[in-house]
Chains A and B, each alone.
Chain A
Amino acid sequence: MREALIVSRKFSLEESHTLAVAQEHGAYKTLKKLQNLSPLEVIKIIKESGLRGKGGGGAPAGNKWALMPQESEKPSFLAVNCDESEPGTFKDRQIITKDPHLLIEGILLTCYAIKAIHAYVYIRGEYYQYQQVLQVAVDEANAAGLLGDVKITLHRGAGAYICGEKSALLESMEGKRGHPRLKPKQPEPEWYFGNPTLVNNVETIASVPFILEHGAEAYRSYGTERSPGTLLFAMSGHVERPGVYEAEFGVPMMEYINHFGGGVKNGKKLKAVIPGGASTGVLTAKEAEEVLLDYESLRAMGVSLGTGGMIVMDEETSMVAVLKNLLEFYHEESCGQCTPCREGTGWVDKLVGKILDGRGSSADIDELLEIAETMNGKTICVFAPAVSAVIVSFLTRFRDEFEAAL
């Protein structure tokens, strides 16, 4: 597997979070390039690079940037999503602690392209110690006069997974409960206090400096045609060397797990892999052997790539217990706004709890699938559909385990 370090290039340096070390290794060089590039030209380069959002959805970043008005009476904003609460995901945290200046550089480039005057970084409340590292870096960059006219404000969340959803994030940043908003009828920017706003994941923004420095083609030289570039893939669970390791899209999943992770912990056999954060479904060991790590290959398997945070499970893991654990998470984290999700998450949690306790019946499995159907495609945000897909994914692949538990 070839090395592909775009975002994590400086991670292993001593004191990599300081301005001095970062600049020694080329940070902020791209800002000079902006003198010869118009905002629209920057957006064009991002579009050409094929950069896809790394917060889980994989939406083409350039298209989203292009929705931002270049001429507007209202101020434009950038909101950088560092809510990182998807179980199995701990990559943005590496960026803000190991190379915060890369993120700041990306923010400045992005703000230039979308003509934003102020960037907010929404950081989950539990990351306060990491937020402080980023704050020091922002202050350093500011003191060094690097920020120019752009303001950067770190905004602390307070414990709510749903605030990672972009419209809930903006609601939360407006000082409200993190309730996702109703979807707009046509493509448009997000809105922060009625002002056009772009929401991107930390890693998406941190990928921008490389693209502007080396060009769209250089970025495309990594990854696949439709999933260009790299991702801070990660592993946790039953694996020898868990952690975040950047790799290009399209590498075989098992090769990644064995190469970086040293294979399944304690020499046990693999049973299943959750491919990219809790909400992406589950793969059997056999499927994991076959699949490549890119959006299209995973989609073809009926799961998704998500954030690339793989959770590895060995042969002794009970899939019923795993599903119960995940459903507890969703039960706890549903914002409670819409009926199918509020009531559904609680009910599926109870049903699987019943099965896990050995009190279940085959009717319960049918009902689980029925509720999953009701939770799919009928809610305000995609939280409930994701839960639905998780249930279906576990029940189709490991139905025998559920039936054995009845």
Chain B
Amino acid sequence: MSFSFTKANLERIEVLKNRYPSTQALSLPCLWMAQYQEGYITLDAIDVISETIDVPAMEIYRVATFYTMFHLEATQKKRVLVCKTLSCKLCGSEGILEHLKGHDVLVEHVECLGSCGTAPVMQIDDVNYENLTPEKVDTILEALR
């Protein structure tokens, strides 16, 4: 199984190449595109990115392992990012985490999501769900099924 960027992404990459002083700047954008395409980042994708932007594969791999939002492993489950940092904790994130154990989702404990004023919060597919209560969690996950 080998990786290739979709036509639309290849076009985006060409556009981006003109917006940075060096193609090396494209490693994060390319990793994002690869991740949206496949659900996670494969070694094949890393090799393709390496060739596309002329950066050693190891450098891309190092980068991919530095940022917590890049996943190098596949999962069938829905990823649910729950903030466990202070404001959310003060507002009951522990209860939300406990409640999520009853759902068949992949829970990731993450650091502050910038929703401290609307805590507790979880993020699914790039969307923040705020002012959570256990009931609200059930409704949201039900709707996303």
Contacts and interface: CB of A to CB of B under 8 A. Distances in A.
A238 B88 CA distance: 10
Interface in A18-53: none
The interface size bin for chain B is: 35 or more
Nearest to B114: A90
B123 interface: yes
A87 B126 CA distance: 19
B123 A177 contact: no
A160 B66 contact: yes
B22 to A, nearest CB: 5
A175 B21 contact: no
B59 interface: yes
Contact of B69 (A159, A193, A326, A335): A159
A85 interface: yes
Interface stretch (A102-110, A150-158, A206-214, A291-299): A150-158
A396 interface: no
A328 B93 CA distance: 15
Contacts of A175: 22, 24-28, 53, 55, 63
A157 B67 contact: yes
B116 A311 contact: yes
The interface size bin for chain A is: 35 or more
A88 B68 contact: no
Contact of B28 (A84, A155, A244): A155
A347 interface: no
Q: Is the interface of B mostly helix, strand, loop or mixed?
A: mixed
B140 interface: no
Interface stretch (A63-71, A126-134, A182-190, A375-383): A126-134
Interface in A89-122: 89-90, 93, 118
Contact of B32 (A158, A160, A174): A158
Interface stretch (A9-17, A229-237, A248-256): A229-237
A192 interface: yes
20 contacts: A87-B112, A126-B81, A126-B110, A126-B123, A155-B29, A158-B67, A159-B68, A174-B22, A175-B28, A192-B21, A236-B87, A242-B116, A244-B117, A278-B86, A311-B116, A325-B85, A325-B89, A326-B86, A328-B84, A329-B111
Interface of B: 19-22, 24-29, 31-32, 53, 55, 59, 62-63, 66-70, 81, 84-87, 89-91, 110-119, 123, 126-128
